[in-house]
Structure 1
């Protein structure tokens, strides 16, 4: 897996124990501090699912 590019931002999240599904992917070698990532290519990619996972990661920190 690659990291962020000129056209994509990879949002890294620490959600250990959560099964990856949909936009929520296992981080792979993206970042050792993150268990998952969500690939974002435009502002509209930040939907309710992304907001949910951001809130969940924040609660766990």
Structure 2
């Protein structure tokens, strides 16, 4: 019986394309467009940015 070497774990892939874009830095200047909780793109609804996936929201006063 031979002892097998443990295989290295591959790097985890991002949960979504949006998260991949954020991690890659393509939208680094637009960090506010992405949900900090789940990485999904936020929807602009009047004076609030809402996440349709996890229901996180930010109000306009958060940006002042």
Using structure 2 for the length normalisation, give the TM-score.
0.25
Using structure 1 for the length normalisation, give the TM-score.
0.25
Q: Which has the higher contact order (CA 8 A, sep 6+)?
A: 1
Q: Highest Rg: 1 or 2? A: 2
Which structure features the higher share of strand residues?
Answer: 1
